[in-house]
A and B are shown apart, each in its own frame.
Chain A
Amino acid sequence: MNEITPVKTKHLLSQQNMIILIVLGAFVAYPFFVSNYFIDIAFFFGTYALLGLSLNIVLGEVGLFDLGHAGFYAIGAYTTAILNTKFGIPILVLLPVSALAAALFAYLVCSPIIHLQGDYLLIVTLGLGEIVRLALINNPFDLTGGPNGVFGIDFPTLPGGFVIDSSIEFYFLIWIIVGASILGLTRLQNSRIGRAWNYIREDEIAASANGVNVKNYKLLAFVLGAALAGVAGNVYASKLMCVSPESFTFWESCLMFCIVLIGGMGSIPGVIIGAAFISLFPEIFRPFAMYRMLVFGSAMILMMMFRPGGVWPRKRGAVEFRSLIGTSRSKDA
């Protein structure tokens, strides 16, 4: 995936590019062959993929246990909902605003707790997520609409006056955002920041001894993760046209946690697979009716028994090592 070997010259039609093209083609063609119902399922798959990618920054790349990620998601969704319904600001303008709001929130609340370790960080983020949800229910300043939430959110309008309102258009909106995020995050993984994050995950003390500013890098992960969750919240709010606190429960945070772990920590293709599992599995097993969640629970356990590192674990070490040899060889030649 993240091949940086200089020895191998890249052909436009290499095997890897072919696979990417086929997957892309499948994604583009999919909505033209299925009913709206299945397009909507794929839309929610995309939302979970985006949420999984956002939590993957915090949990997968840096190894910070964040079990309150739904809080950031909620901040993004409610920012969009409130600003749109009260002031009529267009949804697409609110997309970066929601990201910024969630990021700012993450910065403010995570700064004092960033020194906490492991499970203590987990419970504090869990608490933050719950505080956000409870605050939304309690309707502060008459903004959030209490348990009912906010209604009547607009559809996104593109600059030319084109309104995104059908299932298929939302499908493309979310997957274009997911695609852009994947591109960006893949670049980030191989950057100085990505390496610093992984260093912190593997050995925090060694990282700080080598001059990595642990606190700032951890905060950066939270801020970026929250921003991406805020984007997901924005799209989700305009798709459903309403937001309510019950969409942002502790359970939602748990699902995101599972997406990252089922896929493989720090692995971008893994996260997509994890999101597919979480969002498609209950749909596929709908015929089982009330037993489907029993199957779902057992599948999660079985998954962890047979693929404890995730479905598609990240093989970072191998790639780096090979590329290192590659560079020295190319220098010799």
Chain B
Amino acid sequence: MEIFLEQLINGLTIGSFYALIALGYTMVYGVLKLINFAHGDFFTLGSYLGYTVLVFGSALITAHFGLWGALLLAMMIAAVSLALVGIIVERLAYRPVYPAGRLPAVVSALGASIFLQNAIMVIWGPRFQAYPSKLIPNAHLTIGDIHISLLQIIILLMSFILMGSLYYIVQKTTFGAAIRATALDRDTASLMGININKVILFVFTLGPALGAMTGIMVGMYYRQISFTMGWNYGLKAFTASVLGGIGNIPGAMIGGLILGVLEMLGAAYISAAWKDVFVFIILILVLIFRPTGLLGEKLAEKV
């Protein structure tokens, strides 16, 4: 039972990474029907920016703001920079390609992904980088026989706050309604007076910003980052967003958490080497029986 609960917590931690990255995929997909392959690299770039701030600025910042201040500052810097990168990539790589349809945008996105990934390699070098190790005190919370590290608690809290606020924005505010309307039907939404460009700007700032913050959390959790990690996380997160029903924001959160938990339980009870196979088989089975994902709406066939 302890194993189960501990793996559940581990799964939720990883799952919240997937969920936060998946939100970026699903928001962009919902509004533009574009699979933003560069999103995984936004996440990596955020992680590296956070790394730079924490390593090179840490002494200075910690002296002024304390440890938590440094962490928050790193998150803010990464989030804001990535929001800018997101806008730039959208302007340069995606906007000129929209009129041509969906598939050229896929190639353009892959091109942007290659560009970002190699830019990271050129700037920070091809080797693994190690996150500073003593950022978070190495404390444990023990309930019964279960140990949860302080880091995990912080990560979980932070991701649930982020997801909660995004959920609030999207589901309860007027602008959120505009985003959902755009996701449902872009043309009609624009006829109703919704400024589509504003919505696009929003998803391309918020998605990468969330990704960047996740990048820092992943760096703190695994202590090691590499310039290619965006592919792997991006793949998982994209899988998570499809599992939840792509384009659906609560779906991405649930999909991410389910994916993380499945992966960890699979690793514990089936086999660590086959955990990803297990995850993909579950995904395929879900899609065979619910072709539009767990929370995706039933698509009427267009005639």
Question: How near does chain B come to A122, taking the closest CB pair, in angstroms?
Answer: 8
Given contacts A117-B299, A130-B235, A205-B301, contact A123 B287 (CB under 8 A): yes
Shortest C-beta distance, A79 to chain B (Å), equals 20
Interface residues of B in 6-54 (CB under 8 A from A): 29, 35, 37
Q: CA A290 – CA B239 in complex, angstroms?
A: 31
Segment at the B interface, from A29-37, A187-195, A251-259: A251-259
Contact B106 A257 (CB under 8 A): yes
By a CB distance below 8 angstroms, the chain B residues around A127 are: 239, 280-281, 283-284
CA distance A300 to B107 in the complex (A): 7
| Chain B residues positioned under 8 Å from A291 (CB to CB) | 118, 122
Q: A253-297 interface mask toward B, CB cutoff 8 Å, 1 = contact, 0 = none? A: 010011001100100000000000000000000000011011011
Q: Whole-angstrom distance between the alpha carbons of A186 and B58 in the complex?
A: 63
| Contact between B114 and A297, CB atoms less than 8 A apart | yes
The interface residues of chain A lying within 8 Å CB-to-CB of B63 are none
From A119, A123, A251, A303, B107 is in contact (CB under 8 Å) with: A303
**Interface 9-mer from A7-15, A108-116, A165-173:** A108-116
Q: A261–B231 Cα gap in the complex (Å)?
A: 21
Q: In the complex, which residues of chain A have a beta carbon less than 8 angstroms from the beta carbon of B35?
A: 119, 122
State the 9 A-B residue pairs at the shortest beta-carbon distance, nearest first: A308-B100, A300-B111, A297-B115, A297-B114, A127-B280, A293-B118, A308-B104, A301-B111, A304-B104
Chain B window 94-133, contacts with chain A (Cβ cutoff 8 Å), 1 for yes, 0 for no: 0011011101111110111111111101100000000000
**Assembly CA distance A210 to B82 (angstroms):** 50
Give chain B residues whose Cβ lies under 8 Å from the Cβ of A303: 107, 111
Q: Say yes or no: is A41 at the interface (Cβ < 8 Å to chain B).
A: no
Measured between beta carbons, the chain A residues less than 8 angstroms from B114 are 293-294, 296-297, 300
Interface size grouping (class) on chain B: 35 or more
- Measured between alpha carbons, how far is A135 from B101 in the docked complex, in Å? 35
List A residues 230-266 near B (Cβ within 8 Å): 250-251, 254, 257-258, 261-262, 265
The interface bits of chain A over 299-333 (1 if a CB of B lies within 8 angstroms of the residue's CB, else 0) are: 11101110011000000000000000000000000
Q: Are B287 and A250 interface neighbours, CB within 8 A?
A: no
Binding site for A on B (CB under 8 A): 29, 35, 37, 92-93, 96-97, 99-101, 103-108, 110-119, 121-122, 231, 235, 238-239, 242, 246, 273-274, 276-277, 280-281, 283-284, 287-288, 291-293, 299, 301-303
- Per the bound structure, the CA–CA distance linking A305 and B92 in Å amounts to 10
Measured CB to CB, the closest approach of chain A to B280, in angstroms, equals: 4
Which residues of chain A (110-158) have a CB below 8 Å from chain B?
112-113, 115-117, 119-120, 122-124, 126-128, 130-131, 134-135, 137-138
13 A-B pairs whose Cβ atoms sit less than 8 Å apart in the complex? A116-B291, A123-B287, A126-B235, A126-B239, A261-B104, A297-B111, A297-B115, A298-B115, A300-B110, A300-B114, A301-B111, A308-B99, A308-B104
Given A298-B115, A300-B110, A301-B92: A120 and B274 interface contact (C-beta under 8 Å): no
Contacts of B276 in A (CB 8 A): 130, 134
By beta carbon, the residue of chain A nearest B280 is A127
Question: Are A304 and B115 in contact, with the CB atoms below 8 A?
Answer: no
**Hey, which chain B residues are within 8 Å of A250, CB to CB?**
231, 235
* CA gap between A305 and B98 in the complex, in Å: 9
What are the residues of chain B within 8 A of A119 when measuring CB–CB?
Answer: 29, 35, 242, 246
Residues of B within 8 A of A123 (CB): 238-239, 242, 283, 287
Give bound CA distance, A291 to B117, whole Å.
Answer: 11
- Partner of B97 from the list A112, A137, A298, A305 (CB cut-off 8 Å) is A305
Give the docked Cα–Cα distance between A290 and B115 (Å): 11
Residues from chain B with a CB closer than 8 A to the CB of A205 are: 301-303
The SS class assigned to the A binding surface is helix
B113 touches A117 (CB 8 A): no
- The reply to whether B122 and A304 contact each other, CB–CB distance below 8 Å, is no
Per the bound structure, the CA–CA distance linking A138 and B277 in Å amounts to 10
Other-chain contact of B287, A113, A294, A308 (Cβ < 8 Å): A113
For A251, give the chain B residue with the smallest CB separation: B231
Best-buried of A117, A131, A290 by chain B (most CB within 10 Å): A131
B239 to chain A, nearest CB (A): 6
Instruction: Pick the residue among A120, A124, A309 that contacts B292 (CB under 8 A).
Output: A120
Apart from the given pairs A116-B291, A130-B235, A290-B121, 17 other A-B contacts in the complex at a CB distance below 8 Å: A116-B287, A119-B242, A123-B283, A124-B287, A128-B284, A205-B302, A254-B37, A291-B118, A291-B122, A293-B115, A294-B119, A296-B111, A297-B113, A301-B97, A304-B97, A304-B111, A309-B100
A276 nearest CB across to chain B (Å): 16
Which of A137, A293, A299 has the most CB atoms of chain B within a 10 A radius of its CB? A293
Q: Kindly state the separation between the CA atoms of A100 and B277 in the bound complex, as whole angstroms.
A: 24
Residues of B within 8 A of A298 (CB): 111, 115
Give chain B nearest CB distance to A300 CB in angstroms.
3
Q: How far is the CB of A181 from chain B (nearest CB, A)?
A: 23
**Minimum Cβ distance to chain B for residue A231 (Å):** 25
Contacts of B116 in A (CB 8 A): 297
Contacts of B93 in A (CB 8 A): 301
Q: Considering the chains assembled together, what is the distance between the CA atoms of A257 and B37 in angstroms?
A: 13
State the Cβ distance, A142 to closest chain B Cβ, in Å: 14
Return the chain B residue nearest A127 by Cβ.
B280
Question: When the two chains form the complex, which single residue of A120, A137, A294, A305 contacts B108, counting CB atoms closer than 8 Å?
Answer: A305
Known contacts A127-B239, A130-B276, A131-B281; decide if A305 and B113 are in contact (CB<8 Å).
no
A308 close to B110 (CB less than 8 A)? no
Query: When the two chains form the complex, which single residue of B92, B105, B113, B287 contacts A120, counting CB atoms closer than 8 Å?
Result: B287
When chains A and B are docked, how far (Å) is the Cα of A115 from the Cα of B289? Answer: 11
Q: How far is the CA of A275 from the CA of B97 in the complex (A)?
A: 22
